[in-house]
Structure 1
Amino acid sequence: MVTVVPTEHLSFRLLEPNATDAVLLWELDQDPEVMRFINGGKPTSKTEIDQVFLPRLISYTNPESGWGMWGVFDQQQFVGWILVRPMNFFSERPKLANLELGWRFKRSTWGKGIATEAAQQVMRSIREQTGVTLFSAIAVKENTASIRIIEKLGMQFKYSGIHHDPLGDMQVDTYTVKLD
């Protein structure tokens, strides 16, 4: 089972499909600015969390591989999450040796390096405990804040294209890094 080692400021745990974690996900998604590049700023309903997001979480969570949604906590306070799953997970050919990273954080953390620190620590822990060295992320061109995080993670632009997802296809840029 992969564990993500705490940093000086942050601790981590895999989120679970339970009522406590469902509330954390729902609260985070109530800020229209947090949701701006996800769905145009529409808050997620509790029904969507229960009927869409938690089943998706169950489908890709694999503690032995480090896959799932890593809750990020600053002094026991939930501040956001780092998603880890194989690239193209919801396709017929998921890329098991290329892990997709995604993130969503409370606006109060923006601009403080927390998302970058959390993503770096998740990548480092997974690399050390599983040997996976290829990580990717996707972003819409307009999401310059996420692209800055992607660049700080050492990822390089690979291609633009349609990201296929059961929740809807989206035009995105894909970035990748291979760690030593």
Structure 2
Amino acid sequence: MKSPDSFNPQDVSSPLERKEAKISPCQHGNPSAGACFGTDNSVPEIRIPDSARLSFELMEPEVNPVHRQHLWELDQDPEVMRYVTGGKISTMEFIDTVMLPRIACYRNPQRGWGIWQVSLTDSGEFVGWILVRPWGFFSDAPEFHRLELGWRFKRSCWGLGIATEAAQAVVAELIKQPDVTELCAIAEEENLASTRIMTKLGMVFVRKDLVTDPLFEAELVIYAREL
């Protein structure tokens, strides 16, 4: 699953056209995450209940060193990064200077936005993450009623239904919000494993289009599910 938060602007070997990365804490011009989201602290935080095999935690890698380490650890497998950076692994510098500020900007516990850490319930082992944020969040016109989903998991979990189980658990809580009207996801057309997860979430192919972000620009397939 393609997620702009792990595109490395230094990766000239990737097939994707990169833009120069000039990352501020919030690309829509507001450095305050709470102001970006309209966070209401009187609203309870969304919790994702354990699924059959998995547990969930909203990551705060800029303040939690374990979360920071997990983000870096996952990106050290070139196969995991195949459809993200063309196989180039992320450096800790990239995690700290690019990923962490972006994640902090769109994280909103009351709305379930952010990076959800996924762990095996029986052992506590970190196995991957699910991304949730408004569609076009880093554009001039983010769509807060449409939520983009993304995912990334260790190779040891591939083919076991772990990513689908995790995404379904997160979706089950997101769709309880009445202002959420659509779920979306993007991927390279060749990433069939990812598009299969999209269909299992009830999404359908919408179109292939040019998707832009402060970190990349690429022709990707877009899937969506209206609620």
TM-score of the pair, normalised by structure 1: 0.96
Q: Deviations over 1:111-130 (max 9, x none)?
A: 111101111110111112x2
Q: Deviations over 1:115-159 (max 9, x none)?
A: 01111110111112x222410100110111101111111110111
Secondary structure at the aligned position of 1:66 is classed as coil
1:88 paired residue number: 136
Q: Tell which has more relative contact order, 1 or 2 (C-alpha 8 A, sep 6+).
A: 2
Deviating 4+ runs (over 4 angstroms)? none
1:25 pairs with 64, 71, 89, which one? 71
1:11 pairs with 41, 50, 55, which one? 55
1:110 pairs with 158, 161, 167, which one? 158
Secondary structure at the aligned position of 2:89 is classed as coil
- For 1:77 and 1:67, how far apart are their aligned partners in 2? 23
TM-score of the pair, normalised by structure 2: 0.77
Q: Deviations over 1:87-130 (max 9, x none)?
A: 111101111111000000000000111101111110111112x2
Displacement of 1:171: 1.1
The answer to whether 1:153 aligns with 2:197 is no
Task: Indicate conservation of the 8 Å contact 1:4/1:126, yes or no.
Answer: no
2:222 pairs with 170, 174, 177, which one? 174
Higher strand share: 1
2:15 paired residue number: none
Computed over aligned residues only, the root mean square deviation of the Cα atoms, in angstroms, reads 0.9
2:149 paired residue number: 101
2:168 pairs with 95, 120, 124, which one? 120
Runs of at least 5 residues in structure 2 that lack an aligned partner in the other structure? 1-44
Q: Which amino acid aligns with 1:178?
A: E
Runs of at least 5 residues in structure 1 that lack an aligned partner in the other structure? none
2:188 pairs with 118, 136, 140, which one? 140
How many pairs does the alignment contain? Answer: 178
Identity of aligned residues (%): 51
Secondary structure at the aligned position of 1:25 is classed as helix
Which structure has the bigger radius of gyration?
2
How do 1:60-71 and structure 2 match up within 5 A? Answer: 60-71=106-117
Higher helix share: 1
